[in-house]
Amino acid sequence: MENLDTTTLRGSFLQIDDEPSPVLVEQESSSFSFKLDDDWEEAPTVKTTAPQEGEGAVLVGGLPGIYEGDRFNEVTSGAFTSTAQAREAFGIPSSYQKVPATHPISGERVKNANWVINSDSGKVIGNQCVSDGYHLIQPSAMDILDDFVRCADGTLRIVKGGTWNEDAVIWLQTDELSFDGPNQKDEFKMKVLISNTYDRSGSFVLALTPMNVICKNFYYQALAGSRNKFAIRHTKSAGLKLDQLKQAFGAVGQYKDAVMREFLSWGATPVTLDHAARIARAAFGVKPGEEDEMATRTKNKVDKILDIYETGGEHGGAQPGTKYGLAQMITAWSTHEYSKTTGLEGLVTTGAGRWESKAFGIMNEIVPNAPVQRVFLTR
């Protein structure tokens, strides 16, 4: 297998290139961790929501969120010691298989057509056949989480997971990962979401997301809104790409160093109030040259978010003058200000997630990272 540059595999979040005149930064290695609570025990307790036939959808936030044929699980206490243990507890099938499709009358094999079968139940997945070239990525591929998110106490903070659409989609989500920011005060909090499909609806995906999956709708929003994800299609090269994914994500220390390097680069990248204003206007849909024609409502949004950038507003933690401060501005708006209109303040929801992704993309276009040649890490 060819050597892989693990800093570029993981998405825009970690694309870091050395350039002339680097900024040298010293930083203690401290924080790729879950918050450890005293009530975590070895044996987990799982709450399962699985609507039966005729029961109708379960309402989440007043709207249908978990449907017949879905299985939503949440750990209420304790912790798993392996991903396989979580898969079993959450009712995720142990394996799937392809079975050649046959003509209903003649019994002859239908060319290039196969049913996907849940090996545990024998049920057919979905209502469409897959081709001979469709490569099954088994649920055991999720076990990459064993190395990626294992805590110092030996447990895995896999807290949610299950299946959608009668076992056609499987997924797991971790508790929050915490990363210290460049000022050693702020924390970046993300969750790992890993999923796979068996009905041609999607790829095998490992993603970092701020969204908390509380229903099927939020699951799809979390995947769509993630800026940092690695997807593997169900093709013959899937096995090689899984090996690459393990190489890139399997070593927690390497991942932590890469993330810290990106954050430190943000902290070392100088910006001005003009940068923040350009990003804010573009994120709210104002085109260059149309600044004087902004609607009052849009102008109020721009003024509000610039106040967050300069002072932190009611949320605090401002770090103006750096790209890290721009990131704080964006996340504060998406998490608190945008979500006030949904009644779910503190949670990055559909529209907020899309806006946040757009804003981060604009930020990276307008303000490239200052190069960080090396990071001195204290082990």
The tens digit of pLDDT for each residue in 126-146 reads 888 999 999 999 999 999 888
Residue 74: predicted pLDDT: 94
What is the average pLDDT across 373-377? 37
Q: Which residue has the higher pLDDT, 219 or 167?
A: 167
Q: Is residue 264 part of a domain?
A: no
Domain boundary among 211, 236, 259: 259
Q: What is the pLDDT of residue 358?
A: 83
Average pLDDT over residues 99-107: 92
Q: Is residue 19 part of a domain?
A: no
> With the C-alpha atoms ordered 97, 108, 127, 229, is the resulting torsion angle positive or negative?
positive
Give the residue with greater pLDDT, 163 vs 33. Answer: 163
Q: Answer yes or no: is 186 within a domain.
A: yes
For residue 150, pLDDT over 90 is answered with no
**In this predicted model, which residue has the larger pLDDT, 376 or 189?**
189
Residue at 221 is within a domain? yes
120: pLDDT strictly greater than 90 = yes
pLDDT band at 224 (very low <50, low <70, confident <90, very high): confident
What is the tally of structural domains in the chain?
2
Domain boundary pick from 195, 230, 259: 259
How many angstroms separate the CA atoms of 344 and 348, rounded?
A: 8
Within this chain, do residues 222 and 285 fall inside the same structural domain, yes or no? no
3-state secondary structure the chain: CCCCCHHHHCCHHHCCCCCCCCEEEECCCCCEECCCCCCCCCCCEEEEECCCCCCCCEEECCEEEECCCCEEEEEEECCECCHHHHHHHCCCCCCEEEEEEECCCCCCEEEEEEEEEECCCCCECCCCCECCCCCCCCHHHHHHHHHHCECCCCCECEEEEEEECCCCEEEEEECCEEEECCCCCCEEEEEEEEEEECCCCCCEEEEEECCCCCCHHHHHHHHHHCCEEEEECCCCCHHHHHHHHHHHHCCHHHHHHHHHHHHHHHHHCECCHHHHHHHHHHHCCCCCCCHHHCCHHHHHHHHHHHHHHHHCCCCCCCCCCEHHHHHHHHHHHHHHHHHHHCCCCCCCCHHHHHHHHHHHHHHHHHCCCCCEEEEECCC
- Taking alpha carbons only, the member of 331, 182, 367 closest to residue 262 is 182
The verdict on 94 and 227 lying in the same domain is: yes
Domain span at 144: 32-259
- Residue 371: predicted pLDDT: 64
Query: Would you say residue 326 lies in a domain?
Result: yes
Residue 188 and residue 125 share a domain: yes
Q: What is the mean pLDDT of the chain?
A: 76
Phi, psi for 324 (deg, rounded to 5): -60, -40
pLDDT value of residue 219: 85
Task: In whole angstroms, give the CA distance from residue 174 to residue 196.
Answer: 15
Is the domain of 288 the same as that of 362?
Answer: yes
pTM above 0.75, yes or no: no
Q: How confident is the model at residue 274 (pLDDT cuts 50, 70, 90)?
A: very high
Percent of the chain with pLDDT over 90: 29
Mean pLDDT is highest, among 61-65, 135-139, 243-247, for: 135-139
Q: What is the pLDDT of residues 302-355, one digit of tens each?
A: 999 999 888 876 655 567 888 888 888 887 887 677 766 555 444 445 566 677
Cβ-contact 169, 199 below 8 angstroms: yes
In a domain, 9, yes or no: no
pLDDT exceeds 60 at position 185: no
Q: Which residues contact 176 (CB under 8 A, 6 or more apart)?
A: 34, 35, 189, 190, 191
pLDDT, tens digit (0-9, with 9 covering 90-100), for 9-34 = 222 222 222 333 333 333 333 333 33
Q: Assess whether 104 and 251 both reside in one domain.
A: yes
Q: Give yes or no: residues 230 and 308 share one domain.
A: no
Closest by CA to 331, choosing from 347, 311, 342, 350, is 347
Q: What is the pLDDT of residues 153-162, one digit of tens each?
A: 777 889 999 9
Q: 85 pLDDT band (50/70/90 cuts)?
A: very high
244 and 351, same domain (yes or no)? no
Q: Are residues 231 and 310 in the same domain?
A: no
Residue 249 has pLDDT above 70, yes or no: no
Q: Average pLDDT in the 254-282 region?
A: 78
Residues 154 and 286 both lie in one domain = no
**Per-residue pLDDT band at 101 (split at 50, 70, 90):** very high
- State the Cα–Cα distance between residues 325 and 336, nearest whole angstrom: 16
Nearest to 87 by CA among 122, 44, 126: 44
Q: How confident is the model at residue 170 (pLDDT cuts 50, 70, 90)?
A: very high
Q: What is the pLDDT of residue 167?
A: 95
For residues 104 and 169, state if they share a domain: yes
Predicted confidence (pLDDT) at residue 98 exceeds the cutoff of 90 = yes
Stronger pLDDT, 75 or 153, i.e. the higher one: 75
pLDDT at res. 311 = 84
